[in-house]
A = this chain, B = another copy of it.
Amino acid sequence: MTHPTRITSTLNLPQALREAISRSGASRYAIVTDSTVARLVLPMLSEVTAKAAGIFTFEAGEESKNIDTTTRIWRSLVDASITRSDLVVNIGGGVATDMGGFAAATFKRGVACINVPTSLLGAVDAAAGGKTGIDFMGLKNEVGCFHHPLEVIIDTSTFATLPAEQILSGYAEMLKTGLIAGKREYEEMLQFEKATGDSATFNRLVEWCVRQKMRIVDADPTEKGLRKVLNFGHTVGHAIETHALTKGQPMPHGYAVGLGMAAELYISSCQQGLSMDVANEYLKRVVIPYYAAALTANENDISALIELMGHDKKNSRIGKPSFTLLQAIGEPHFDCHIPQELIASSLHYLLSAI
Contact = CB atoms under 8 A, between A and B. Distances in A.
Interface in A82-116: 102, 105-110
A144 B109 contact: yes
B106 A106 contact: yes
A259 to B, nearest CB: 28
Given A67-B67, A71-B67, A78-B139, A133 B145 contact: no
Interface in A139-161: 139, 141-146
A145 B110 contact: yes
Could you say how many copies of this chain the assembly holds?
2
Contacts of A133: 109
A174 B144 CA distance: 35
A227 to B, nearest CB: 14
A224 to B, nearest CB: 13
Contacts of A132: 109
Interface residues of A, number: 24
A143 B110 contact: no
Contacts of A110: 145-146
A106 B144 contact: yes
Interface string A246-283: 00000000000000000000000000000000000000
A109 B136 contact: no
A337 interface: no
Contact of A145 (B67, B71, B106, B131): B106
Contact of A74 (B71, B74, B106, B136): B136
A75 B74 CA distance: 21
B74 A105 contact: no
Nearest to A147: B145
Given A109-B133, A131-B109, A142 B67 contact: no
A318 interface: no
Nearest to A84: B223
Given A74-B137, A78-B137, A110-B146, 20 more contacts: A67-B67, A67-B71, A74-B143, A75-B137, A78-B136, A78-B139, A78-B142, A102-B106, A105-B145, A106-B106, A106-B144, A106-B145, A107-B142, A108-B143, A109-B132, A109-B133, A109-B144, A109-B146, A110-B145, A145-B145
Interface of A: 67, 71, 74-75, 78, 102, 105-110, 131-133, 136-137, 139, 141-146
